[in-house]
Amino acid sequence: DGGITQSPKYLFRKEGQNVTLSCEQNLNHDAMYWYRQDPGQGLRLIYYSQIVNDFQKGDIAEGYSVSREKKESFPLTVTSAQKNPTAFYLCASSSQRTGAIHYGYTFGSGTRLTVV
């Protein structure tokens, strides 16, 4: 079955440590996205990529980094510069073409990151 796989489901980070969240999709989607979700604040966009080897900052990119070396993969690194990283992180993808109506995102099941 096609879908998006996020791993790990739970992740614990020590102060000053970088951690990487994995996101893999087998939907052949061009675009991929990372969102952060905090209680009562909805979803906030961290980074997105519309094509391999290209990505753009979202609304809250500071303290995060990404790469898009393969169409299927869009890992997110939470660096030590992110002062409040405890949150639920969601990866999404979509198939987008010029002139096409937007058909929405497919989401992964999320990674809960906790600073210990």
Partner 1 sequence: AQSVTQLDSHVSVSEGTPVLLRCNYSSSYSPSLFWYVQHPNKGLQLLLKYTSAATLVKGINGFEAEFKKSETSFHLTKPSAHMSDAAEYFCVVSPISNFGNEKLTFGTGTRLTIIP
- Contacts with partner 1 by CB under 8 A lie at 4, 6, 31, 33, 40-43, 45, 48, 50, 58, 88, 90, 92, 96-110, 112
Give CA–CA dist 45/90, Å, rounded.
10
CB of 33 to partner 1, least distance (A): 7
Closer CB to partner 1, 16 or 103, in the complex: 103
H or E, element range at 111 = strand 111-115
C-alpha span between 49 and 51 (Å, rounded): 6
Taking the least distance from each CB to partner 1, the nearer of 6 and 82 is 6
DSSP 8-state assignment for residue 70 = B
CB of 16 to partner 1, least distance (A): 27
Strand runs labelled E in 41-85: 43-51, 54-57, 64-66, 76-78
Nearer to partner 1, 41 or 84 (CB): 41
Min separation Cβ 96 and partner 1, Å: 4
Q: Do strands 87-94 and 31-37 pair parallel, antiparallel, or not at all (unpaired)?
A: antiparallel
Q: Least separation, in Å, of the C-beta of 42 and partner 1?
A: 4
